[in-house]
């Protein structure tokens, strides 16, 4: 594993998570920075900046990295999108204060107060309608994108209660070829971080429980409780403690 320099302390956690994932992919591939530059359209100096957290790579560079290391770019691009939004917000300066204007001398001209009141009322009405429309769109999106109904009840007791709409998975632990599996995913190198969901996450949750840790309900949702359990495992096994499940953490989980 490469000995990476510590990331800047002021780096947003979402950007930090993305950079750590790209570092893990690069390490897992065995490529040097020079070899990575040769396989992509981006120089070695560029990759030093990207992997050092000094600048955020463009989307095309992320896709090129995934192709160079033989990784499905979907998850990495999703992490990049979240990191890019955080990066833009972190680089945006505060808005300039409004320029003060001298108040006119004397009373306002006749009819001016009525016009101002009419314009203010119209603006308030437009804002209210816009807020209502946005709220309706968000609620509609949540209904469409919400998690599916419960699949099966888990046969592993949980100390934390899951959301009534979150899917639950059954852990069917078995040891095969010297590795543990829970019957939900066979992956050994998928990158999982907070915000991810699906069978890969549920597999990790089952294996965390087998290791004597507490990831919460086996619901396939990578939340704060699961992240803390991953960090506990990484700390116990002497891995980099970043709360992200990558190839090295999968190796520890599968035993």
**How far, rounded to the nearest angstrom, does the alpha carbon of residue 36 sit from its chain's CA centroid?**
24
CA-based nearest residue to 183, from 162, 157, 155 = 155
Is 133 exposed, middle or buried, given 0-12, 13-18 or 19+ CB atoms closer than 10 A? Answer: exposed
* Fold agreement between 13-91 and 174-254: no
pLDDT of residue 6: 87
Residue reference for tokens 């001209």: 109
Q: What is the DSSP string of 126-190?
A: HHHHHHHHHHHHHHHHHHHHSPPPP----SS--SSPPPTTS-------EEETTEEE-SS---SS-
- pLDDT string in tens for the chain (255-residue length): 557 888 888 889 999 999 999 999 989 889 999 999 999 989 999 999 999 989 999 999 999 999 999 888 898 899 999 999 888 887 654 443 444 444 444 454 555 555 655 565 665 665 556 555 555 545 454 444 444 333 333 344 433 344 444 568 999 999 999 999 999 999 999 999 988 999 999 999 999 999 999 999 999 999 999 999 999 999 999 999 999 999 999 999 998
pLDDT of residue 10: 86
Q: Where are the domains of the chain?
A: 13-91, 174-254
| 3-state secondary structure (DSSP) of residue 176 | strand
Distances (CA, A) of 74 to 90, 121, 251: 24, 47, 22
Q: Indicate the pTM of the whole model.
A: 0.42
- Can you tell me the distance from the alpha carbon of 21 to that of 242, in angstroms, rounded to the nearest whole number? 10
Domain 174-254 fold is Muramoyl-pentapeptide Carboxypeptidase; domain 1 (1.10.101)
Q: Is 221 left (phi over 0), alpha (psi -120 to 50) or beta?
A: beta
pLDDT of residue 161: 40
What would the two tokens of residue 197 be?
Answer: 């969901």
Strand partners of residue 179: 176
Q: What is the DSSP string of 60-86?
A: HHHHHHHHHHT--HHHHHHHHHHHHHH
Is 155 exposed, middle or buried, given 0-12, 13-18 or 19+ CB atoms closer than 10 A? Answer: exposed
Residue reference for tokens 């939004």: 85
pLDDT of residue 5: 85
Domain 13-91 fold is 434 Repressor (Amino-terminal Domain) (1.10.260)
pLDDT of residue 122: 60
What would the two tokens of residue 58 be?
Answer: 């463009």
Strand partners of residue 174: 181
- Can you tell me the distance from the alpha carbon of 26 to that of 71, in angstroms, rounded to the nearest whole number? 10
For 174, the enclosing helix (H) or strand (E) is: strand 174-176
pLDDT of residue 114: 55
Q: How many CB atoms lie within 10 A of CB 241?
A: 14
């Amino acid at each position: 594993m490469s000995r990476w320099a510590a990331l800047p302390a002021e780096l947003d956690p979402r950007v930090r998570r993305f950079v750590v994932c790209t570092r893990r992919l690069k390490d897992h591939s065995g490529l040097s920075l020079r070899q990575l530059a040769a396989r992509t359209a981006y120089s070695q100096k560029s990759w030093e900046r990207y992997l050092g957290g000094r600048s955020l790579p463009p989307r095309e560079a992320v896709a090129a990295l995934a192709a160079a290391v033989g990784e499905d770019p979907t998850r990495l691009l999703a992490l990049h999108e979240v990191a890019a939004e955080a990066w833009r917000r972190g680089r945006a300066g505060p808005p300039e204060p409004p320029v003060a204007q001298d108040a006119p001398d004397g009373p306002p001209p006749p009819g001016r107060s009525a016009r101002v009141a009419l314009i203010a009322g119209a603006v308030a009405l437009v804002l209210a309608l816009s807020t209502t429309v946005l709220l309706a769109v968000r609620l509609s999106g949540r209904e469409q994108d919400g998690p599916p109904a419960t699949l099966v009840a888990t046969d592993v007791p949980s100390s934390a209660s899951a959301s009534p709409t979150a899917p639950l998975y059954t852990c069917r632990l078995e040891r095969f070829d010297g590795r543990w599996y829970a019957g939900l995913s066979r992956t050994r190198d998928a990158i999982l971080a907070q915000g991810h969901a699906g069978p890969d996450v549920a597999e990790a949750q089952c294996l965390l429980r087998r290791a004597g840790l507490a990831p919460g309900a086996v619901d396939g949702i990578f939340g704060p409780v699961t992240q803390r359990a991953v960090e506990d495992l990484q700390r116990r096994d002497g891995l980099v403690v970043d709360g992200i499940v990558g190839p090295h953490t999968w190796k520890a989980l599968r035993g």
